[in-house]
Amino acid sequence: MKTVVITGSTRGIGRGLAESFLALGCKVAIAGRNAAAVETAVAALAARYPGKVVGAAGEIARATDIEALWATAHKAFGRVDVWINNAGMSIRRAPLHEAKTADLEAIIATNLTGVMLANRIVIAHLLKQGGGQVWNMEGFGSGGQTVPGMAAYGATKRALNYLNKALQKELKDQPVQVCTLSPGIVVTDLLVGDYDASSPDWPKAKRIFNILGDTVETVTPWLAQQVLASNKPGAKVAWLTTGKAFGRFMTAGFKKRDLFAAIPTP
């Protein structure tokens, strides 16, 4: 079974993916910027899947930390078959002119610089290894969507769309595949944390999320299965398709959902 590396995998979608790949028999390397969180996650997962989990802490925007994550996985398991660039961040929803410089620098470093560095480093290793896959994680804005207050986040994800297409052309006829993972709207504490509960926009956003959103436990097992089944350059695995979204809106009046029951209100 394959060896999978997942950045940003101590919680949320990344953690869900790690658990799903392990349940499917894979070996998994997890990563995050907080060393204590990585250690805790590795211990919890290794208790259930002994010998199949390793981890490394580091910054996704630091090349030496990406190299260290590759080395950790390669040393433990002998090769890397699938690398998933899941690490990402958002900032407080607000007009761009109100954003703090430090926040803008951070989101660009994580969502764009980090992903670009990871692709450069990992693709080079995979070519030397003889092949493998890199999956880059889409987000709001990847398809050109725009809403007020999300200029920074959406711009980084729109850039990812271009990066994927460019890399796929650069690697034409090479044994390394660059693919796209699109989880849709997954309700996590990170998503909720982007909103101000006192804002008049929050109830409307919450209603939309309850229609179109899903939990980590619902989405990640399916994503993992599809990733393992994909074997072509430029593959895209998308949970929330246009057809599924249309169907959700059509049946929203008959199906009441509350995906926020277990998540603290912002």
Q: pLDDT by residue (tens digit) across 58-83?
A: 999 999 999 999 999 999 999 999 99
Report pTM.
0.90
Q: What is the pLDDT at residue 252?
A: 75
Q: Which residues, in sequence order, are bridge partners of residue 53?
A: 28
Cα–Cα–Cα angle for 36, 41, 45, rounded to 5 degrees:
150
153 is known as an active-site residue: yes
What is the spatial distance between Cα 127 and Cα 107, in angstroms, rounded to a whole number? 29
Q: What is the pLDDT at residue 245?
A: 73
Average pLDDT over residues 132-144: 93
Of the listed ranges 9-13, 61-65, 255-259, the least confidently predicted one is 255-259
Length of the chain: 266
What ranges do the domains of the chain cover?
Answer: 3-186+215-240
Of the listed ranges 106-115, 125-134, 223-232, 242-251, the least confidently predicted one is 242-251
Note whether 76 and 54 are within 8 A (CB): yes
Note whether 83 and 132 are within 8 A (CB): yes
Q: What is the pLDDT at residue 182?
A: 95
Query: If you write DSSP's letter for every residue of 40-98 in order, what string do you get?
Result: HHHHHHHHHSTTSEEEEE--TT-HHHHHHHHHHHHHHHS--SEEEE----------GGG
The dotted CATH code for 3-186+215-240 is 3.40.50.720
Catalytic residue among 49, 153, 162, 195: 153
